[in-house]
C-alpha cells in the first residue's frame, strides 16, 4: 500500500466524491477539486480561464461543485493614470498670486493644519491635488485633516503626515470619485466605521489588537459590504480553523462569498440554508468583549462628531 510522506493538515473527501472523480477520469477535474477543498474557491489557481471553466463544468456535471463556485471574471485592468504635470516654480508663484483662486487660502490653511511652512516641493504637491486632480479646496482640507488624524492615531499626538502621503491618499480619493464635500463626508464616515469594525473583527478571530495590514482591511470591508453579522463571521472562522487548523483569510473569504451568493448572512440563516452538516456555535460574548466593543463604538462616534463639527466650521467660513 502506498504511503503519503508529506506531513501537514488533512484534506478529507467522501468516498462518494472520490468515486465520482475516478469515474470522470480527468486530471484537471481532480486537481481543481483538490484546490477547492484546499482554498474554498477557484481563486489562486493559475490556469487559463478556458481550462478552469472546462474542469469546473466537469465537476458541476457530476454534482461535485456548485454553480456558485464559477470563477468570477477577472476585473478589467484600469488604464494607467496619466502622470501629473511637472509644475515649475513660476506656475506655483502665479497660482499663489491669483487672488481669484482658492489656492492661496488653501495653502495657508494647510500650513496652519500641518504646523509648518510649506516648501516649494510641498506647494507643487498641493497644487497637483488642486489643479491636476481638480479636487475642491474644501475636499482637500478634509483630506488633509483625515491624514493628520490617521497619523496621530497610529504614531501619537503631534505627528504630522508628509505632503507625499497626503498626495497618495488624494489620488485614491480621485480614483473613487470623491470630489465633492458630500462624497468626502460620506467616505470619511465609512472609514471611521470600518476602523472600529476592524478592531471588532480581530476580536472575533481571536487575534490580539494590532494594526491591520492592507489586505486584511480589504477583506473586512468586503465582508461588511456583504452584510455579515458577528455570529456569521465567527461561524466562517470556526469552519476555517476546523479545515485549516489555523486562520487562512483567503479560505475564510471563500466561505463567506459562497454564503453571500446564497443570501446567508446570519448564523440562523447559515444553519438553516448551508449544506455543511457540522454544527456551528455562536461565539460566546464576554463582558470584556462587550466593553471593548463599547469603547470602539464610543471612539467611532467621537470621530464622526469631529467630522461633523469640521463640516459645520467649513460651511460657516464659506
Contact between 33 and 65 (Cβ < 8 Å): yes
pLDDT level of residue 159 (50, 70, 90 thresholds): very high
Give CA angle at 205 (149, 210), nearest 5°.
30
pLDDT score at 76: 47
Instruction: Kindly state the percentage of the chain with pLDDT values over 90.
Output: 44
State the pLDDT at residue 168. 95
Please report the pLDDT score of residue 86 as a whole number: 92
Q: Would you mind telling me the total number of residues written for the chain in this entry?
A: 318
- Any idea what DSSP says for residue 263? T
- If phi > 0 it is left, if psi is from -120 to 50 it is alpha, else beta; for residue 13 that is beta
pLDDT greater at residue 224 or residue 282: 224
Which of 8-22, 62-76, 162-176, 266-280 bottoms out in mean pLDDT, i.e. has the lowest? 62-76
Gap between the Cα atoms of 302 and 306, Å rounded: 6
Nearest one of 254, 237, 256, 233 to 245, comparing CA atoms: 237
pTM of the model: 0.56
For residue 30, name the pLDDT band (cuts at 50, 70, 90). confident
Looking at residue 294, its pLDDT comes to 58
Q: Is the pLDDT of residue 163 over 60?
A: yes
Looking at every residue in the chain, the average pLDDT score rounds to 81
* Residues in contact with 300: Cβ distance below 8 Å, sequence separation at least 6, in sequence order: 192, 193, 195, 196
Predicted pLDDT of residue 205: 92
pLDDT > 90? residue 309? no
| Residue 125, pLDDT score | 96
Amino acid at each position: 500500500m502506498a504511503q503519503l510522506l508529506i506531513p501537514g493538515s488533512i484534506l478529507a473527501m467522501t468516498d462518494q466524491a472520490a468515486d465520482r472523480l475516478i469515474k470522470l477520469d480527468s486530471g484537471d477535474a481532480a486537481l481543481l477539486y483538490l484546490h477547492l477543498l484546499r482554498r474554498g474557491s477557484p481563486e489562486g489557481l493559475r490556469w487559463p480561464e478556458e481550462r478552469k471553466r472546462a474542469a469546473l463544468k466537469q465537476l458541476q456535471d457530476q454534482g461535485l461543485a456548485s454553480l456558485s463556485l464559477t470563477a468570477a471574471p477577472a476585473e478589467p485592468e484600469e488604464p494607467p493614470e496619466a502622470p501629473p504635470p511637472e509644475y515649475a516654480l513660476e506656475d506655483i508663484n502665479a497660482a499663489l498670486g491669483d487672488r481669484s483662486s482658492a489656492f492661496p487660502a488653501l495653502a495657508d490653511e494647510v500650513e496652519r493644519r500641518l504646523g509648518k511652512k510649506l516648501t516649494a516641493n510641498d506647494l507643487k504637491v498641493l497644487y497637483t491635488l488642486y489643479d491636476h486632480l481638480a479636487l475642491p479646496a474644501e475636499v482637500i482640507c478634509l483630506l488633509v485633516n483625515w491624514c493628520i488624524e490617521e497619523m496621530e492615531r497610529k504614531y501619537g499626538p503631534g505627528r504630522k503626515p508628509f505632503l507625499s502621503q497626503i498626495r497618495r491618499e488624494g489620488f485614491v480619493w480621485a480614483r473613487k470619485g470623491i470630489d465633492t464635500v458630500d462624497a468626502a463626508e460620506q467616505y470619511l464616515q465609512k472609514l471611521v466605521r470600518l476602523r472600529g469594525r476592524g478592531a471588532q473583527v480581530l476580536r472575533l478571530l481571536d487575534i490580539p489588537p494590532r494594526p491591520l495590514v492592507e489586505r486584511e482591511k480589504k477583506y473586512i470591508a468586503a465582508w461588511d459590504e456583504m452584510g455579515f453579522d458577528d455570529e456569521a463571521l465567527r461561524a466562517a472562522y470556526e469552519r476555517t480553523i476546523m479545515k485549516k487548523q489555523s486562520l487562512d483569510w483567503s479560505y475564510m473569504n471563500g466561505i463567506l462569498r459562497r454564503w453571500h451568493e446564497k443570501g446567508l448572512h446570519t448564523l440562523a440563516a447559515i444553519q438553516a440554508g448551508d449544506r455543511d452538516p457540522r454544527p456551528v456555535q455562536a461565539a460566546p460574548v464576554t463582558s470584556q468583549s462587550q466593553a471593548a466593543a463599547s469603547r470602539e463604538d464610543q471612539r467611532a462616534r467621537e470621530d464622526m462628531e469631529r467630522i461633523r463639527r469640521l463640516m459645520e466650521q467649513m460651511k460657516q467660513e464659506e
